[in-house]
Amino acid sequence: MQFMNNPPTFLFFTGKGGVGKTSLSCATAISLADQGKRILLVSTDPASNVGQVFGQTIGNHLTGIHSVPGLTALEIDPQAAAQLYRARIVDPVKGVLPDDVVRSIEEQLSGACTTEIAAFDEFTGLLTDDALLRDYDHIIFDTAPTGHTIRLLQLPGAWSSFIAENPEGASCLGPLAGLEKQRERYAHALSVLADSAQTRLILVARPQASTLLEVARTHDELHQVGLENQTLVINGVLPESATTGDALARSLYQREQRVLASLPPALAALPHETLALQPVNMVGPDALRGLFQTQKSGDATAVLQDEAVPDIPSLDALVEDIARQDHGLIMLMGKGGVGKTTLAAAVAVRLAERGLDVHLTTSDPAAHLENTLHGQLKNLQVSRIDPQAETERYRETVLATKGKDLDAQGKALLQEDLRSPCTEEIAVFQAFSRVIREAGKRFVVMDTAPTGHTLLLLDATGAYHREVAKRMGENGHYLTPMMQLQDAERTKVLLVTLPETTPVLETANLQEDLRRAGIEPWAWIINNSLAAARTTSPLLKIRAAHEVEQIRKVQSGLATRLALIPLQEDEPVGIDRLSILAGKQ
């Protein structure tokens, strides 16, 4: 593998969710550990599944991997990091400052912004800890999906600039109190990230046009941050030997080859290589060691009988149930790469084709709904919550209202406050709240960001609800966004997954997180099923046979409603193909 030649100290694997970042980062860590290197594998994904891959609990502390000598792993848990971060700031002032002041500081530190800062604080610590660097030859980062990772890599510069320009701090006092002391460390982290002798970034993609376009954008954004040492790995490419006698496999192969032959120029100029689609799930060291080996399609060792595939309704059956009301919020949630954007577009198209008024939107920084729809439809409005645009809108609104009557010094302090990176959290939450309110009069279909990012947004929603409840008291009448999300009549959450072990497990964990927040998922959607597509390719048939157990697991114990969507011969882009994907009769 080219990307493993003369590896620097830090290796970052990034890309859209579901492209195989965790598999590649784990396989690389095992390969280097097998060579006698001391390796630290770090996950910065709020929805990390590194522990599931190795079959042991890891968590937010250095943990040796039992099955791989020389390999240590760490999962940066944003919530645990935030708890430690809050304690570091609050504990020293307890008993020193008045109780009401301490409570005020604790409230300031209760939001999702602090959670993000705390995770970022740990991340920069790993880049600059000399003692840690003496203990390990290489530190490998399995990062969150693209949008979240770009945000993480931009934070050292954002906070360094903010602290330098605003030495007195701002009303985001709690987080800044911890950050101001560490300006030198952030500057050091920036230099490490930009140094090609110390850091290499591996862009991971699937052989799909939409995924590669996003990777090209990622390449440009990382270039702007100063990360130049990039290489591209296209994962899960179907070998031609697996296509004999199967129209679906042949169609997939031809589609992938067309994509590989026309890489965006920025990516074609990078060092790049491909990895073959594997017949087994990438769980456990033995499977991961085979990832870098050329696979033979061979004979199907697991025989899939047609009657073994459960009889499950199409997506259109769920849409028909949804359409019985003439308005409401439909939120598609799940891990990155499971097809939320495509399925959100398909749900919106089928509702609009029934003559209903529909607004399709996304809170995923990396989603591009227009590319999926590839056309316009009567009754269908399309938008996205753009964090940068929403932040600018929020700043202008605050300056025009709260800043209207301030003197020059007051305006300067307010502008300083609004330059804080924490402002983005508030702005995105407000945009999210506007969308929820709109669902009271028409259908709003929301394609959400990957799981971890969405949970942070829900955390902000919950924090706002608690603040309103405290102010209004027991006798007050109010309706918060969280109350609307918890109301099954107003909101239907559709959980999207793939028929594979890890995605199903992660979606089940997401369902439990939502239930703890008082939100009951309405249905599950299992996407891209080879079993439902009735493939005859030996390699794909092995993968299809492994799917059945997971489909039955969801059907019998996890979902109250369920739709199963076959893998499509043609990429589901455009209104007609989205209708076919949904199962339009």
Tell me the CA end-to-end span of the chain in Å, nearest whole number.
46
* Among 422, 344, 438, 437, residue whose Cα is nearest residue 387: 422
Can you give the CATH number for the domain in which 558 is found? 3.40.50.300
Assigned domain for 247 exists: yes
- Catalytic pick from 16, 21, 340, 541? 21
Is position 373 within any domain?
yes
What pLDDT is stored for residue 495 in this prediction?
Answer: 95
Residue among 14, 45, 210, 403 flagged as catalytic: 45
pLDDT at 556: 92
Check: CB of residue 571 under 8 Å from CB of residue 253.
Answer: no
In this prediction, residue 466 has a pLDDT band, given cuts at 50, 70 and 90, of low
Q: Is the pLDDT of residue 328 over 90?
A: yes
Quick one: pLDDT at residue 512? 87
- Given 15, 18, 334, 583, the catalytic residue: 18
In a domain, 431, yes or no: yes
Band the pLDDT of 559: cuts 50, 70, 90. Answer: very high
> Which residues are within 8 A (CB) of 130 and not within 5 positions of it... i.e. 6 or more apart?
none
pLDDT in the model for residue 298? 45
Mean pLDDT, rounded, for 566-572: 86
Contacts of 53 (CB under 8 A, 6+ apart): 22, 23, 26, 282, 283, 284, 288, 502
Residues 59 and 137 reside in one and the same domain: yes
Res. 161: pLDDT tops 50: yes
**394-420 pLDDT, tens digit each:** 888 888 887 888 888 777 777 766 666
Q: For residue 59, what pLDDT is reported? A: 78
Residue of 15, 17, 23, 143 marked active site? 23
Instruction: Compare 308 and 582 and report the one with higher pLDDT.
Output: 582
Rounded to 5 degrees, φ, ψ at 75 are: -110, 115
Q: What's the whole-number mean pLDDT along residues 414-432? A: 69
Expressed as residue numbers, the domain containing 146 is 2-289
Residue 300 placed within a domain: no
Q: Identify whether 23 is a catalytic site residue.
A: yes
Mean pLDDT for the stretch of residues 500-512 = 83
Name the pLDDT band for 375 (thresholds 50, 70, 90).
confident
Q: What is the pLDDT of residue 310?
A: 81
% of the chain exceeding 70 in pLDDT: 78
Instruction: State the burial class of residue 26 (Cβ atoms within 10 Å of its Cβ: 0-12, 13-18, 19+).
Output: buried
Q: What are phi and psi of 409, to 5 degrees?
A: -65, -40
Domain boundary among 256, 289, 322: 289
230 alpha carbon, distance to own chain's centre: 21
- Identify whether residues 468 and 530 lie together within a single domain: yes
Q: Which residues contact residue 72 at a Cβ distance below 8 angstroms, ignoring those fewer than 6 apart? A: 38, 39, 40, 41, 62, 63, 64, 65, 136
More confident of the two residues 156 and 428? 428
As a whole-number percent, the residues of the chain with pLDDT over 90 amount to: 19
Specify the pLDDT at position 113. 58
Where does 171-303 show beta strands of DSSP type E? 199-205, 230-237, 272-276
The mean per-residue pLDDT over the stretch 229-258 comes to 89
pLDDT at site 394: 81
**pLDDT score for 321:** 94
Identify the active-site residue in 15, 16, 17, 22: 22
Residues 446, 344: one domain? yes
**Residues 241 and 345 occupy one common structural domain:** no
Query: What pLDDT, on the 0 to 100 scale, is given for residue 175?
Result: 46
Is 351 part of a structural domain of the chain? yes
- Taking the model in full, what pTM does it have? 0.68
Q: Is residue 356 domain-shared with residue 459, that is, in the same domain?
A: yes
Euclidean distance between CA atoms 317 and 319, whole angstroms: 5
338 and 195 housed in the same domain: no
509 and 481 part of one domain: yes
Q: How many domains does the chain have?
A: 2
Q: Nearest-CA neighbor of 113 among 60, 173, 33?
A: 173
pLDDT at 111: 58
Same domain, 283 and 313: no
Last residue of a domain, one of 289, 318, 335: 289
HSE value, Cβ hemisphere, 13 Å, CA-based, for 35: 13
What rounded mean pLDDT belongs to the chain?
A: 79
pLDDT at 170: 41
Same domain, 231 and 317: no
Tokens encoding 505: 């497990």
Q: Does 258 lie in the same domain as 407?
A: no
Q: Is the pLDDT of residue 99 over 70?
A: yes
Other Cβ atoms closer than 10 A to 122: 19
Give DSSP secondary structure letters for 164-188.
Answer: HH-TT--S-HHHHHHHGGGHHHHHH
Residue 170 lies in a domain: yes
The single residue of 20, 147, 169, 452 carrying the catalytic annotation is 20
Higher pLDDT, 38 or 423: 38
Rounded CA-CA distance 2/233 in Å is 9
pLDDT at 386 over 90: no
22 as an active site residue: the answer is yes
Which residue in the list 502, 529, 537, 579 is annotated as catalytic?
A: 502
Q: Which tokens hold the place of 41?
A: 């594998």
Say if residue 270's pLDDT is above 50: yes
**Could you report the per-residue pLDDT of 6-62, keeping only the tens digit for each?**
889 889 888 776 678 888 998 999 999 999 999 999 887 666 678 778 888 887 788
The residue among 265 and 114 whose pLDDT is bigger is 265
Residues 132 and 184 in one domain: yes
> Pick from 289, 320, 352: which residue ends a domain?
289
Q: What whole-number distance in Å separates Cα of residue 128 and Cα of residue 141?
A: 14
Query: Which of 82-86, 170-174, 361-365 is least confident?
Result: 170-174
For the segment 165-207, what is each residue's pLDDT rounded down to a tens digit?
554 444 343 444 545 555 666 677 778 878 888 889 899 888 9
pLDDT at 571 over 90: no
Is position 302 within any domain? no
- Is residue 285 over pLDDT 90? no
pLDDT of 585 reads 67
Same domain, 349 and 452: yes
Catalytic, 18? Answer: yes
Please check whether residue 299 lies inside any domain of the structure: no
Q: Determine phi and psi for 325, rounding to 5 degrees.
A: -95, 160
Range in 155-159, 211-215, 549-553, 578-582 the model is least confident about:
155-159
